[in-house]
Amino acid sequence: MQPTPTPSDGEITPDTRFTHLSRAPWASKGVSIVSPSNPGPLGNISFEDMALITLDAISDAVMVVDPDGKLIYLNKVAEKMTGWPRAEALGRYVEQVFFIFDGATRERAPNPAQRAIEENQIVELALGRILVRRDGKVVAIEDSAAPIIDRNGRATGAVIVFHDARQSGAAIQEMSYRAQHDFLTGLPNRMCLMERLTHAIGMANRHNKKIAVLFLDMDDFKMINDTHGHAVGDHLLQEVSTELQSCVRTTDTVSRHGGDEFVILLTEIEERQDAAQIAEKVLARFASPRTIDGIELQVALSIGIAVYPENGTDADTMMRNADVAMYATKANGRNSYQFFQWGQDESIDG
């Protein structure tokens, strides 16, 4: 029996070509590289074919470089981002296809694959890189590289992974927006409101102005939900949020705190009466019944008002006292408004 041939030092074979690719940064996104001895559930597909299929399926651009710095593989995303078809790119030095420079200094950026091979370790994410496509167009990217390790632990090539940095920025912005806004109405949520309230208090103190917090609760909203269903209730909440925004200035904030509670922040007002006028405007806006999904509904609101600085000098105190005033309104007939008064919470408890 002939002995099984073994690859010479530095030779890239199906076994060594994809060894330790799971150490690459995109492996954390769910890419799983199986070993040649364990072909996985698709036994009729070779390990190399499975690896290539996997690399073509991920959303990042991937390029594989041999020890001489020449391209031996790039996936479909890499073809699209660089503008180089695979057939024309293979065999070229990576710098010809992956031409990058530093977005800040405008200097040619070092080849991440070469660094990964020389240092025999993953080269962490590099920020501010600009890729020059084959057609001359430029795109901001984020890139990283990992060495391809043979059985002896030596780097026999490298894999470069990169993606459009604009997608990362858009994703971060989207996550930030969702973290600070109510999913149903799109209004700022409690976290966002508290940040704005704290800032507004600082500005009011500096400019010797007042601010007001109006805490609103929809009376009998649970009955509407129970009688007509949650879909109707959700559509009503969306309409209420739109109406409330139309009652205030663009510098003010309307926030939803979940359920049927809303908060209006009025920034830099001159006197308490300014807050009363907004409360009366809101109540007047909802005085007439409205039709939601073909159902006529009457909206009633109980409103509590706290004014800075007499009713509190910090965000938590202002919110708490506006809430107390709102419950005082409910205790005195609903569908109206009251200003916070010290001792009001004791009279409600009593």
Residues 243-253: pLDDT tens digits?
A: 999 999 999 99
Same domain membership, residue 256 and residue 111: no
The Cα–Cα gap between 41 and 28 comes to 21
The position carrying tokens 């031409």 is 99
Identify whether 64 is part of a domain: yes
Give the predicted TM-score (pTM) of the model.
0.57
Q: With pLDDT > 90 as the criterion, what percentage of the chain qualifies?
A: 59
Residue 79 belongs to domain spanning: 14-171
Same domain membership, residue 43 and residue 151: yes
The Cα–Cα gap between 259 and 111 comes to 54
Q: Are 159 and 60 in contact (CB under 8 A)?
A: no
Does residue 2 surpass a pLDDT of 50? no
Q: What tens digit of pLDDT does each residue of 42-57 get?
A: 556 777 777 778 888 8
Same domain membership, residue 293 and residue 200: yes
Identify whether 167 is part of a domain: yes
Identify whether 270 is part of a domain: yes
What value does the mean pLDDT take over residues 96-121?
Answer: 88
Which among 171, 197, 228 is the end of a domain?
171
- The pLDDT, as a whole number, for residue 22 is 39
The position carrying tokens 């084959």 is 134
- The pLDDT, as a whole number, for residue 158 is 92
Same domain membership, residue 212 and residue 112: no
Q: Which of 23-32, 57-66, 285-294 has the highest mean pLDDT?
A: 285-294
The tokens of 8 are what? 């010479």
- The pLDDT, as a whole number, for residue 1 is 43
Number of compact structural domains in the chain? 2
Does residue 144 surpass a pLDDT of 90? no
SS (HEC) of 147-160: EEECCCCCEEEEEE
Q: With pLDDT > 70 as the criterion, what percentage of the chain qualifies?
A: 82
Coil, strand, or helix at residue 123? strand
Q: What tens digit of pLDDT does each residue of 228-276 get?
A: 999 999 999 999 999 999 999 999 999 998 889 999 999 999 999 999 9
Same domain membership, residue 115 and residue 89: yes
C-alpha R_g of the chain: 31
Identify whether 58 is part of a domain: yes
Same domain membership, residue 61 and residue 209: no
Q: Which of 13-27, 207-221, 299-313 has the lowest mean pLDDT?
A: 13-27
Q: What tens digit of pLDDT does each residue of 146-173 get?
A: 999 888 888 889 999 998 887 666 666 6
Identify whether 1 is part of a domain: no
